[in-house]
Amino acid sequence: MQRFQCYIDGEFADGEARFESIDPATGAAWAEMPEAREADVDRAVEAAHRALYAGPWAKLTATQRGKLLYRLADLVAENALKLAELETRDTGKIIRETSTQIAYVAEYYRYYAGIADKIEGSYLPIDKPDMEVWLRREPIGVVAMVVPWNSQLFLSAVKIGPALAAGCTMVVKASEDGPAPLLEFARLIHEAGFPAGVVNIITGFGPSCGAALSRHPKVDHIAFTGGPETARHVVRNSAENLASTSLELGGKSPFIVFADADLESAANAQVAGIFAATGQSCVAGSRLIVEKSVKDRFLDILKAKAEAIRIGSPLDMATEVGPLATRRQRDHIEVLVGHSLAAGARLVTGGSAAEGAGYYYRPTILDCDGSASPSLEEEFFGPVLSVLSFETEAQALALANNTRYGLAAGLFTRDLTRAHRLMKGIRAGIVWVNTYRAVSPIAPFGGFGLSGHGREGGMAAALDYTRTKTVWLRTSDDPIPDPFVMR
Ligand code: NAD
């Protein structure tokens, strides 16, 4: 079995305990992971704290930080395939996606490398004649980053990149499910030449490792991606250290299709939105809201596409849908599909586990018209699409906004004025019109409501990893007048 280690204070180390990682394509253990507990967490946070205030990192110029990030970007690009194979092996996410996604992760680091020396302070035109006042932008401090199993390299890059550009130090907690790629990525941090303690990478279980990290007194900010229930624990933990938080949580994103849309193109985007990554995507377009007049035709196209999907080994480039990351995840989906059928949803296709030892589940479509199916509200995080239909634009909008989540939405229509109206009315952090699941380091990403708060990507994300310091400098040589009067 392959063995992985934590990366703490510039050194690779075993955790306080170990656990086995399961290959979701076979259900068999394939690697041993280090389990960080409270003492490891403490060592990692102390190392990040030392690196923030003492040592070489604190003295680097922003341009020098940028150069280290450029080096990291090159190393990610050079090692993309190796990292992709590890992610595929450990999480079941298909190699076809991990290989391209990780190559693109390099672009996130490159983008933030360029931003490092473009984070500017500002000068204030203060209302006092003998004062110069300006704002410095300083790193927000030690950042705890907690990520879920899916796309760990991507979900950490959107945190590590801007945080490094801003000059922060950090402890990254990989998910206990599929941590291999992030632990391997630590070798690239080391090779790129980041000083010891700047980036620490550990893994362990939520209640021990994640909780110890998010309530640690020396953590200043927590950047969390995961489910809303875990986010509540994290926010409660932050009551201990009063750290600020950014939360990227789940979604129940609407995917609206009007009769005038290019149905073939919309169907491909819907497949990308719900069956790519085996549906384990926070932006999964899991609620199809389709105009009644084309519902049957659109479902026929979708059903044919869903049934033609190649299910197989995630390491095979031809595979389109691989296993779910964990048995727990597949069991959750089976139970939720059962409840939805019991509540009156009609099975269009799928609805069962696929044969084989791994955690496979067939691409599934549930027609939920006329039912109170729980699938319309609860996030599956799997390849299950719930379908509703509408007759008017107002109905479409009301159905789209009938959710406590607010992450993403898709809209397919050729009517430009309608697209503009709906784009404004849809309550979501991202609206894709005539496309779906497009991302870029340049474009902010995030939601509101049950989908959390804060944005990742773009310049603003780098500013979110800074705090301002207001500096007052008196330019008069005269003695300070009346000390009992506030000036
Ligand atoms: P999860 O919430 O179970 O776990 C996420 C991380 O939190 C893991 O590293 C886990 O160990 C840690 N954790 C668990 N308990 C903790 C605690 N008490 N204190 C601190 N940390 C703790 O999430 P998951 O099930 O692994 O991932 C799926 C969820 O992530 C879905 O809801 C999905 O939508 C969401 N997600 C959101 C985005 C986004 O960008 N919005 C992206 C991907 C996934």
- Reported pTM: 0.96
List pLDDT tens digits, range 425-459.
999 999 999 999 999 999 999 999 999 999 999 99
Supply the pLDDT for residue 271: 98
Residues 47 and 195: their CA atoms lie apart, in Å, by 11
Mean pLDDT across 370-396: 96
Supply the pLDDT for residue 55: 86
Token pair listed for 170: 């950090």
Q: How far is the CA of 454 from the centre of ligand 1 (A)?
A: 16
Q: Is the pLDDT of residue 254 over 90?
A: yes
Catalytic site residue from 35, 46, 87, 248: 248
Structural domains of the chain ordered from first start = 2-249+447-472 (3.40.605.10), 254-433 (3.40.309.10)
Residues 355 and 343: their CA atoms lie apart, in Å, by 26
Residue 311's alpha-carbon distances to 99, 184, 198, in angstroms, are 18, 28, 41
Supply the pLDDT for residue 15: 92
Going by CA atoms, what residue is nearest to atom 39 of ligand 1? 248
List pLDDT tens digits, range 353-378.
987 789 999 999 999 999 999 999 99
Nearest atom, ligand 1, residue 211 CA: 19
Residues 235 and 237: their CA atoms lie apart, in Å, by 5
The percent of residues above 70 in pLDDT, for the chain, comes to 100
Residues 6+ apart with CB under 8 A from 351: 337, 341, 362, 364, 366
Mean pLDDT of the chain: 97
Cα of first residue to Cα of last residue in the chain, in angstroms, is 68
Decide: 211 in ligand 1 pocket, CB within 6 A. Answer: yes
Nearest atom, ligand 1, residue 173 CA: 9
Is residue 381 classed exposed, middle or buried when 0-12, 13-18 and 19+ CB atoms within 10 A define those classes? buried
Supply the pLDDT for residue 357: 84
Is residue 133 classed exposed, middle or buried when 0-12, 13-18 and 19+ CB atoms within 10 A define those classes? middle
Beta-strand relationship, 221-225 and 287-291:
unpaired
Q: How far is the CA of 250 from the centre of ligand 1 (A)?
A: 9
Mean pLDDT across 323-339: 96
Annotated catalytic residue 46: no
Supply the pLDDT for residue 355: 79
Supply the pLDDT for residue 486: 87
Decide: 230 in ligand 1 pocket, CB within 6 A. Answer: yes
- List of E strands, 24-89: 28-35
Residue 108's alpha-carbon distances to 104, 159, 188, 440, in angstroms, are 7, 10, 15, 8
Q: Which of 393, 439, 445, 389 is nearest to 419 (CA)?
A: 393
Q: What is the 3-state composition of the chain as percent helix, strand, coil, each rounded to the nearest 5?
A: 40, 25, 35
Decide: 453 in ligand 1 pocket, CB within 6 A. Answer: no
Supply the pLDDT for residue 314: 96
Mean pLDDT across 274-290: 97
Q: Which of 384, 280, 356 is nearest to 324 (CA)?
A: 280
Give the pLDDT band of residue 382 (cuts 50, 70, 90). very high
Give the pLDDT band of residue 400 (cuts 50, 70, 90). very high
Q: Which of 153, 203, 160, 263 is nearest to 5 (CA)?
A: 203
The percent of residues above 90 in pLDDT, for the chain, comes to 98
Stretch among 81-95, 165-179, 231-245, 347-361 having the lowest mean pLDDT: 347-361
Give the pLDDT band of residue 487 (cuts 50, 70, 90). confident
